[in-house]
Amino acid sequence: MSLFVRKSISSLLSESNATDSNTLKKSLGPSRLVALGIGAIIGAGLFSITGGAAAYQAGPAITISFIVASLGCCFAGLCYAEFASMIPVAGSAYTYSYATMGEFIAWIIGWDLVLEYAIAAVTVSISWSRYLIKFLEGIGVNLPPELTLCPWDGGIINLPAAIIIILASLLLIKGIEGSARVNFVIVLLKIAVVLVFIVLGWKYIDISNYRPYIPANNGTFGEYGFSGIIRASAVVFFAFIGFDAVSTAAQEAKNPKRNMPIGILVSLLICTVLYFLFAHVMTGVVNYTAFKGFDGIAPVAIAIDHMGKPDALGIIHPDYPWLNKAIVLAILAGYSSVILVMLLGQSRIFYSMSKDGLLPKVFSQIHPVYRTPIKSNLILLFVGGTLAALVPARVAGEMTSIGTLLAFILVCFGILVMRKKMPDAPRAFKTPLVPLVPVLGIATCLFMMIFLPADTWIRLLVWMVIGFDVYVIYGFKNSRLQDKLPTRIDLLTLRSVGIIIALLLVSVVLWYQQTVGWNGSKTLMTIAFVIAFVHSLFVWNKLKGLDSLVNKKIVELACAEEKF
């Protein structure tokens, strides 16, 4: 037994080529893979996160933030493309880590990917809800705020956000081929919307809205100035996760060794160009301060309302009122494709982890007719719908960003490991300029992670604490590759990592308390301290029990040898 046991490339390829009734159906060509990528990318960043990042962190320099974020994505995308061409199996970074760095690292990245996909779907569903409200208000329908805002924002439940999660989950249950067909149509509509917005909005750009292009830092780290630009790049990094969502569908792709790199890199290239142009127009049409508040989660609707000429009272009347409603309606459809692809990615991550024994079998049970992980989709329907109804958008968006950045770092590191340990493994696509590109990818992503708020780091570490304990309780014992008792080195490694995570959590929460002031609320610090203490106690007692079991087995083997 070893915490770092790796899955062989041959076993992964055998899994990819399987065609029995308990495997996923291969039905995706290159165009639909590119559409999956664009379907996930365009939407979250352009239509929701961009407004808040410009309003609170970067100002008009949000365009620079997109450039920084795209650099990290470019480096990571090249690494993803090599892995996808070598290991065309569902699971994305989780599967790649299992093949290169072993089971324990694979578990960490798989658990982290829940933040990237499931929480991304939640974030976008909340923004979808805001756009729906805007659209309904335009036709004279006003929904009560109690049913459209979460408790943290003054409401009771965000019902529209929960409903769209439920509908997307039900569509995925019916099968990926039908889902991909719907997504392809929506993507064409969404690209048309983006291009129309850029072309029509360009003539309404007011240069004064770009002054100052980089607002001066107000004395708080991460709010405008250089630190604001970098923090905004980390936040909008959330917008680029679509290209790696393509890799989660590798097992359902036709000719994956050729088509996966195409799907990943082409979707990333198209969206990077559109992002820059879109952000430039959006912050030129309206001053970035207009994106503050609840409506900032729907910044495109605000910008569209400013595409017109003011009357004598200074009230702007949009020149294309019919287009305003049409574009918002198209955005609603586009958001649906983002949610669809995110939930698709999450269910395939769960599918792979369950097939490896690290999660219960319920997550890998395939419907005999639809050939989809139906129970996994139903679980996501319930959990995702609940979170969408009750969680604020800012918290969900920043959690997605930090989870994505961590995943990209491990994928880039995995290429370095793969080139060292398996230099002769067949590759349909090779990351250029290794080790430079992976190292730059690691450095860029880590740089952006550092600039995320301290409370986001606390939530990440709390999530890692939970994941570590789940692995010790379930995954470690049920892994298909672990067929013996753990060694003392394994137990020492687990105990050390568990304590280190707890110490990191305590350190970060002290950093957070320092930034908000010791006279402020200490609720988060108290909760984090309790979690760290309970976790440390659990790790010590649980592993102590395993240690006793190992010692007992060693004694039994020694006695058996003496008798022999």
**Do the beta carbons of residue 417 and residue 85 sit within 8 Å?**
no
Question: What pLDDT sits at residue 26?
Answer: 62
Report the CATH number at residue 262. Answer: 1.20.1740.10
Question: What pLDDT sits at residue 546?
Answer: 64
Question: What pLDDT sits at residue 550?
Answer: 58
Is the domain of 319 the same as that of 459? Answer: no
Among 63-67, 89-93, 113-117, the minimum mean pLDDT is found in 89-93
Question: What pLDDT sits at residue 44?
Answer: 53
Among 58-67, 345-354, 432-441, the minimum mean pLDDT is found in 345-354
> For all residues of the chain together, what is the average pLDDT?
81
Is the domain of 136 the same as that of 279? Answer: yes
**Percentage of residues in the chain having pLDDT higher than 90:** 13
Q: Say yes or no to pLDDT of 442 above 90.
A: yes
Q: Is 274 a domain residue?
A: yes
451: helix, strand or coil? coil
Among the candidates 392, 417, 452, a domain finishes at 452
Q: Is 415 a domain residue?
A: yes
Q: Say yes or no to pLDDT of 343 above 90.
A: no
Q: Which residue spans within 294-382 are E strands per DSSP?
A: 308-310, 316-318
- Spatial separation of the C-alpha atoms in residues 187 and 42, rounded to whole Å: 8
Q: Say yes or no to pLDDT of 209 above 90.
A: yes
**Percentage of residues in the chain having pLDDT higher than 70:** 85
- Spatial separation of the C-alpha atoms in residues 38 and 271, rounded to whole Å: 7
Of 468, 471, 437, the closest CA to residue 532 belongs to 468
Q: Is 24 a domain residue?
A: no
Q: Say yes or no to pLDDT of 438 above 90.
A: yes
pLDDT band for position 25 (cuts 50, 70, 90): low
Is the domain of 387 the same as that of 528? Answer: no
Of 351, 339, 391, the closest CA to residue 166 belongs to 339
Among 10-24, 114-128, 249-263, the minimum mean pLDDT is found in 10-24
Question: What pLDDT sits at residue 553?
Answer: 56
Q: Is 360 a domain residue?
A: yes
pLDDT band for position 1 (cuts 50, 70, 90): low
Is the domain of 448 the same as that of 459? Answer: no
Question: What pLDDT sits at residue 225?
Answer: 92
pLDDT band for position 436 (cuts 50, 70, 90): very high
Pairing of strands 316-318, 308-310: antiparallel
Q: ∠481-412-491 over CA atoms, to 5°?
A: 35
Question: What pLDDT sits at residue 493?
Answer: 82
Average pLDDT on 377-400 reads 80
Query: Domain span at residue 229?
Result: 30-452
Q: Say yes or no to pLDDT of 558 above 60.
A: no
pLDDT band for position 27 (cuts 50, 70, 90): low
Q: Is 1 a domain residue?
A: no
- Spatial separation of the C-alpha atoms in residues 561 and 564, rounded to whole Å: 5
Is the domain of 89 the same as that of 169? Answer: yes
Is the domain of 519 the same as that of 474? Answer: yes
Among the candidates 452, 485, 511, a domain finishes at 452
**Do the beta carbons of residue 23 and residue 497 sit within 8 Å?**
no
Q: Say yes or no to pLDDT of 3 above 90.
A: no
Report the number of distinct structural domains present in the chain. 2
Partners of residue 148 on adjacent β-strands: 158
Is the domain of 74 the same as that of 141? Answer: yes
Kindly report the backbone phi and psi dihedral angles of residue 158, in degrees, each rounded to the nearest multiple of 5, phi listed first: -90, 85
- Spatial separation of the C-alpha atoms in residues 300 and 330, rounded to whole Å: 12
- Spatial separation of the C-alpha atoms in residues 528 and 534, rounded to whole Å: 10
Question: What pLDDT sits at residue 207?
Answer: 92
Of 63, 21, 69, the closest CA to residue 452 belongs to 69
> In which residue are the tokens 């081929």 written?
177
Q: Is 6 a domain residue?
A: no
Q: Which residue spans within 385-428 are E strands per DSSP?
A: none
Is the domain of 288 the same as that of 335? Answer: yes
Measured in whole angstroms, the distance separating CA 56 from the mean position of its chain's CA atoms is 22
Q: Say yes or no to pLDDT of 255 above 80.
A: no
**Do the beta carbons of residue 65 and residue 53 sit within 8 Å?**
yes
Read off the pLDDT of residues 360-374 as tens digits, 9 standing for 90 and up. 988 888 877 777 788
**Do the beta carbons of residue 39 and residue 338 sit within 8 Å?**
yes
Question: What pLDDT sits at residue 297?
Answer: 64
Average pLDDT on 439-461 reads 86
- Spatial separation of the C-alpha atoms in residues 296 and 306, rounded to whole Å: 14
Average pLDDT on 41-53 reads 73
Helices (H), 174-255: 176-202, 225-236, 242-245
Among the candidates 396, 425, 452, a domain finishes at 452
Dihedral sign from CA coordinates of 71, 76, 80, 81: positive
pLDDT band for position 551 (cuts 50, 70, 90): low
Question: What pLDDT sits at residue 405?
Answer: 83
**Do the beta carbons of residue 49 and residue 238 sit within 8 Å?**
yes
pLDDT band for position 394 (cuts 50, 70, 90): low
Read off the pLDDT of residues 69-96 as tens digits, 9 standing for 90 and up. 888 888 888 888 888 777 777 667 788 8
Q: Is 126 a domain residue?
A: yes
User: 312 exposed, middle or buried (CB, 10 Å; 0-12, 13-18, 19+)?
Assistant: exposed
Is the domain of 428 the same as that of 489? Answer: no
Question: What pLDDT sits at residue 214?
Answer: 92
Question: What pLDDT sits at residue 531?
Answer: 92
Question: What pLDDT sits at residue 249?
Answer: 66
**Do the beta carbons of residue 275 and residue 282 sit within 8 Å?**
no
Q: Say yes or no to pLDDT of 279 above 80.
A: yes
Question: What pLDDT sits at residue 138?
Answer: 74
Is the domain of 414 the same as that of 494? Answer: no
Question: What pLDDT sits at residue 202?
Answer: 92
Dihedral sign from CA coordinates of 155, 115, 512, 72: negative
Question: What pLDDT sits at residue 78?
Answer: 86
Q: Say yes or no to pLDDT of 439 above 90.
A: yes
Kindly report the backbone phi and psi dihedral angles of residue 60, in degrees, each rounded to the nearest multiple of 5, phi listed first: -60, -20
Among 164-178, 211-225, 517-531, the minimum mean pLDDT is found in 164-178
Q: Is 165 a domain residue?
A: yes
Listed in sequence order, the residues at least 6 apart from 450 whose beta carbon sits closer than 8 Å to its beta carbon are none
Is the domain of 380 the same as that of 250? Answer: yes
Q: What one-letter code names the amino acid at 18?
A: A
Is the domain of 411 the same as that of 304? Answer: yes
**Do the beta carbons of residue 46 and residue 196 sit within 8 Å?**
no
- Spatial separation of the C-alpha atoms in residues 73 and 237, rounded to whole Å: 8
